Amino acid sequence: MYNCGVHTHMTNTRITDPEILERRYPVLLRKFSLRHGSGGNGRFKGGNGLVREVEFLEPLNVAVLTERRVFAPYGLNGGEPGQCGINLFIRKDGTVINLGGKKEIQAQPGDRLRIMTPGGGGYGKRLDGNKESGIF
């Protein structure tokens, strides 16, 4: 199994490279990883989502426009749904705000935005009934 992820937005564009993001915007990419366990179980397990966290270096107006934060990505033919996505705004003082799927907020230096994308739905019923094992 490989530990890699590619995020393609609904506009069919890939996610911005960390070096480009930090060069063009006053942010620091704190985390960019797989969201392990977010894919739904099934004969074929759904793909994992991603975790991306940025820290703001200057005051900025931040907006998120995302989906699958309330309704989970569904599974097919007996597969289980993937996990819903989560958008968290973490203030410098540690206060955490769940932004939901669509929100605009003012960020200050030291504040962070953690985006956890949803996992994919699984496909087909499990053959062995064990939720932990699976075929990728």
Spatial contact of 75 and 119, defined as CB atoms under 8 Å apart: no
Per-position DSSP letters for 53-97, written without gaps between them: EEEESS-EEEEEE-SSSSSPPPPBTTPPPPPPPEEEEE-TTS-EE
CA dihedral of 6, 68, 84, 24, whole degrees rounded to 10:
40
Can you tell me whether residue 20 is helix, strand or coil?
A: helix
Per-residue pLDDT of the chain (136 residues; tens, 9 = 90+): 455 565 555 444 567 788 988 999 999 999 999 999 999 999 999 999 999 999 999 999 999 988 889 999 999 999 999 999 999 999 999 999 999 999 999 999 999 999 999 999 999 998 875 555 454 4
Q: Which two tokens stand for residue 100?
A: 């939901």
pLDDT score at 43:
96
Q: Is the pTM of this model over 0.85?
A: no
Q: Cβ of 136: how many Cβ atoms within 10 Å?
A: 9
CB 41 within 8 A of CB 72: no
